[in-house]
Structures are given as structure tokens and as C-alpha cells.
Amino acid sequence: MAREFGVRLVQLDASRPYSAARGRNEGLREALRCWSDVLYVLFLDGDCVVEPDFPKAAVTALIQNPKRAVVTGHLSERSPESSVCS
């Protein structure tokens, strides 16, 4: 479905174990390869929704404190009952 929206996908090599961290790392590597001038990256799980004001607030926080590497917000899952950990 993502391809229908023109989203660039990274096919993970099945000979290595899958993990969320591996997916994020390989996706980030590909994004930086394609868009080397990117300044900020937002990692978002598929079951989460971004509040409309969060990206601007996060960038502002990063600009205000150049030593800051991460900005997080309150996390609430859209469908917590669907989690494997429930």
C-alpha cells in the first residue's frame, strides 16, 4: 500500500534477523542516502498518531538547544488492545 502513495521502501535482507531497531536504522540510512541534507528525522510507530503541533515544537526545541539530540512527547497508542504485549 505504501508504494501506491509513492513512499520509498527498504527491502530488508531476510538472511539477518528482523527487529524494529534494524528497520529504523536501515530506513534512516536510506533516507540519508537519498536526502543527504535532511536535518531532522521523526520515527513513528505505525500504531501512533502525531499531534499536529508536535513536529514544529520538536524542531523548535532542537534549535533552542543544539546539544539536544532527541525530543519525545506523550505516547498513546491508537489501538493498545491490538498490541502483542497486551
67 in the same domain as 31 = no
pLDDT in tens, 22-38: 999 999 999 999 999 99
pLDDT at 55: 94
Is pLDDT at 13 greater than 80 in this prediction? yes
Angle (CA) 28-24-30 rounded to 5° is 30
pLDDT in tens, 35-48: 999 999 998 877 77
30 in the same domain as 52 = no
Q: Which strand (E) or helix (H) includes residue 64?
A: helix 54-64
Task: Kindly report whether the global pTM for this prediction surpasses the value 0.85.
Answer: no
Distance CA 20, CA 84 (A): 14
Mean confidence (pLDDT) of the chain:
87
Domain hosting 13: range is 1-38
Number of domains in the chain: 2
51 in the same domain as 69 = yes
32 in the same domain as 53 = no
49 in the same domain as 31 = no
Distance CA 78, CA 48 (A): 6
pLDDT at 44: 83
Contacts of 52 (CB under 8 A, 6+ apart): none
